[in-house]
Each structure stands twice: as structure tokens, then as C-alpha cells.
Amino acid sequence: MDFREIKEADAKNYMTVFSRQNLCFTHGKGSKLYDTAGNEYIDMGAGIAVNCLGHDDPELTAAICEQAHKLIHVSNLYYNIPQAQLCEKLLDGTIFDRMFLCNSGAEANEAAIKLIRKYFYNRGETRTEIITAKNSFHGRTLATVTATGQEKYSKPYAPLPSGFTHVPYNDFGALKEAVNDKTAALILEVIQGESGVLPADYDYIVNAYALCRSRGILFVVDEVQTGMGRTGKMFAFEHYGIQPDIITLAKGLGGGVPIGALLARGEAAGAFAPGDHGSTFGGNPLACAAACVVVDRLKNGLLREVEQKGEYLLSKLSKLRKFNFINDIRGKGLLVGVSLGDKLTNTEIVGKMATNGVLLITAGHNTLRLAPAYTISYEEIDIACDKLMDLFARTNV
């Protein structure tokens, strides 16, 4: 199919849930993508923070191919070698005791919500309410879209599940006021990725954590976008010196192969009993083999690379502050947001940068989001940032 035929088939057959850019890619190598016309692009979005090892990584593709020759799928009615290996590798050196594997971030957060409810059910406590932050994003299933603190995602699907309260982000006073005897858990992103790459204040997280500890409330961190090394540490909560009861992972965990995970510690880790939860595809051998490569690479030096490249990327982008239409530049590691003023739109800039051979993605609050592969070269960072600088220098607002 040529590009015209692809677009026609999409318009005819696919539900209109995506606003797609006028691009279709055929293959990639490292941090480069190539479209149907043969044009080359530097990929600064990595599949929305997913392709952490880039495209066509030799070690990752070899592991996927090798596993595909053995077993792609076997049900969770049986033991699974790559699954057992992944659990050992991922939990080793962490504060967590047990994990559950699924297929996506939304599924990981669904599992967390169920685990929270089951934990208090087991204890005979009628705590069912969960607090999340306004402008958060936790997924698109009915429960996770309700947990998401953005009405635009949930309003069309009313009536929504009960038991969720949203409070302003980075406002400890509002959080403290919302807590009551029915509060079961607090679910937070320590960096709100979809809403504009908004880091939580250190004092906010530390005080929220202390509040949960004093009231017997489970502290849960959604690490779907920030976990698996994205911020320069294996998990972003490590920047705050806390020990959450539960975290959720997905995106970069499989390097592009769909996989999600729920990690828990202490009594919460043992709350599920046989039959309480499950997944047909979750933790399948193919996805686990891919995730094992990602975990190994992170533990063997790649985390330090993310930290160094993140500092370099921020230093390059900081030069954009001279433009009066730049509101802020923020983030950690290789997750950075460039907040634009009202006279520009992020979608406009993304389109123009694509024309210049650089792929960016958007986030809320009129923000450009940069979340490249961890294997991106310094030269590619230079080229992408220089092209953005050049575009802004030619922008009259």
C-alpha cells in the first residue's frame, strides 16, 4: 500500500479516536525514523516515552526473535521461564516484594485500584476512597479515566465509578483537607507527564507521604511514564527519598513490546489471592524476554547515560529561555517539557519541526514534550535542539 491508500483505509476502517500527523513510518534505526517517502527524522518522542532502546536495537530484537522461535504465548495456567526471570531481575535491589504483569499502563493502574480495595477488604476496613491529583493521567479504562483528574477524558462516559476524589497538584493543604477515615490510598505521578511535564515539589511529596503513613493510607506512585529509567533513576520516586507501597509501570518496560507491571511491598503485596485478578496476555514470554533486556541494560550502565544525557539536553534547551514566548523548561532525565506562551501552539511547532526532520510530541498546558530513546547520541540531541532554536529564531510573535 502506498501512503494515499494507507490513509484511505484508515479513514474507512479505523474509529476516529486519533488525530494523526500526516506521516507513516516504514522502519527505524536507533533514534532515526524513515517515512514512506524515504525521509529521515530524529525521533525525540520515542513512541511517547516507550522505545527506550531506540529502533532496531540489536540486543532487543535478537531476544525477541529468539523467544518468538520458542514460545510467543503460553497462558498463566502454567509456569513461564522469561516471566520468572523478569520478576527476579526487576524486583532485585528494590523495596518491592511481589509484582503482577499485564499489558499496559492503564491495566497496571486498574490492578493497583483493585489491590488497594482488596487490601482493606482483607483487613475488614471499609476504606474505599482513592485520592488523585487534578490534571493527572492514569489511563483510559472506565476506572482509570475516573481516577484521571481531567474531566475532558471522563465526562462523556458518565455515570462513572464512585470513590475517587481529585485535589490540586502540589497543594498539600488541599490534600490534607480531603483525607478522611474512608481514604484508602493516594495515587500520584511525581511528574505529571501528559499534563505538561510538571514535577511535584519535593516538600509536597514528602509531606503527602508522611500524611499517608500517619493515617494508614496506601501511597501509590504511577510510574507508567517516569519509571524504567526515564528520569535517570530506575523509578522517579527515588528522587524524593520515599518508599511507596505500590507503583505501576509500562511504556519503557518492554522497549516497545506491550507490557505493564504492578509492584507492591509489605502487606499490600500479599493482598491478592488466586482468582482475584488475572490477565490472558499479561506476562507472556515474548514481552518478558524483551523486558529482561531493558532491565539488564538499565542496571549495566544505561541509567547513568540517561542522567548524563538528560543534563545535556536540559542545558541545550535552556538556551531557548531567551525567547519571550518560552514560559518554562522543566523535567528530569530524558523527560523534558518546553512550555510555550499563548501566541504559539505546541501542535503548530510539532508540525513545523516534523517538516524539519525532528519529531516532538505535545503535552497539556501548551507544552512540547521531549522523551527520546536512552540510546540517543549527543550529536542527535544537538541537531534536534539546534533545529528547534533555529525555528524559534525565525518565529515572529
- What CATH number does the domain containing 214 carry? 3.40.640.10
Residues 256, 114 share a domain: yes
Same domain, 336 and 314: yes
Per-residue DSSP letter, 219: E
How far apart (Å, rounded) are the C-alpha atoms in residues 231 and 6?
36
Cell digits of residue 14: 479505523
Place of cell 477515615: 181
> Based on the domain organization, do 41 and 91 belong to the same domain?
no
Q: Cell triple for residue 242?
A: 520515599
Q: What is the dihedral of CA 292, 85, 227, 231, to 10 degrees?
A: -60
Q: Are 76 and 103 in contact (CB under 8 A)?
A: no
Distance (Å) of CA 233 to CA 252, 314, 332, 397: 13, 16, 10, 38
| Domain shared by 357 and 275, yes or no | no
CATH number where 328 lies: 3.90.1150.10
Q: At how many degrees (to 10) do helices 285-297 and 81-91 cross?
A: 30
* CA-to-CA separations, 11 to 4, 35, 175, 281, in angstroms, rounded: 11, 19, 44, 29
pLDDT confidence of residue 396 = 79
Same domain assignment for residues 294 and 307: no
Nearest CA to 310 out of 237, 231, 248 is that of 231
Which of the listed residues 263, 298, 333 is the one where a domain comes to its end?
A: 298
Per-residue pLDDT in tens (0 to 9) along the chain, 397 residues = 999 999 999 999 999 999 999 999 999 999 999 999 999 999 999 999 999 999 999 999 999 999 999 999 999 999 999 999 999 999 999 999 999 999 999 999 999 999 999 999 999 999 999 999 999 999 999 999 999 999 999 999 999 999 999 999 999 999 999 999 999 999 999 999 999 999 999 999 999 999 999 999 999 999 999 999 999 999 999 999 999 999 999 999 999 999 999 999 999 999 999 999 999 999 999 999 999 999 999 999 999 999 999 999 999 999 999 999 999 999 999 999 999 999 899 999 999 999 999 999 999 989 999 999 999 999 999 999 999 999 999 997 7
Last residue of one domain, picked from the residues 281, 298, 315: 298
8 Å CB contact between 254 and 286: no
**Shared domain check, 308 and 289:** no
- 186 and 322 co-located in one domain: no
- Same domain (yes/no): 310, 345: yes
| Other CB atoms within 10 Å distance of the CB of residue 337 | 29
- The answer to whether 254 and 358 are in contact (CB under 8 A) is no
Residue 155 near residue 188, CB atoms below 8 Å: no
Do 151 and 245 belong to one domain? yes
- Catalogue the E-assigned strands of 231-305: 246-249, 260-264
Does 375 share its domain with 310? yes
Look at phi and psi of residue 46 and say left if phi exceeds 0, alpha if psi is from -120 to 50, else beta: left
- Cα distances (angstroms) measured from residue 101 to each of 34, 85, 305: 32, 13, 27
Which of 252, 276, 298 is where one domain is finished? 298
Do 102 and 148 reside in the same domain of the chain?
Answer: yes
C-alpha triplet 174, 110, 176: angle, nearest 5°: 15
Domain count, the chain: 2
* Boundaries of domain holding 148: 59-298
Residue with cell 504511577: 222
Specify whether 215 is located in the same domain as 289: yes
Task: Evaluate whether 19 touches 10 at the Cβ level (below 8 Å).
Answer: no
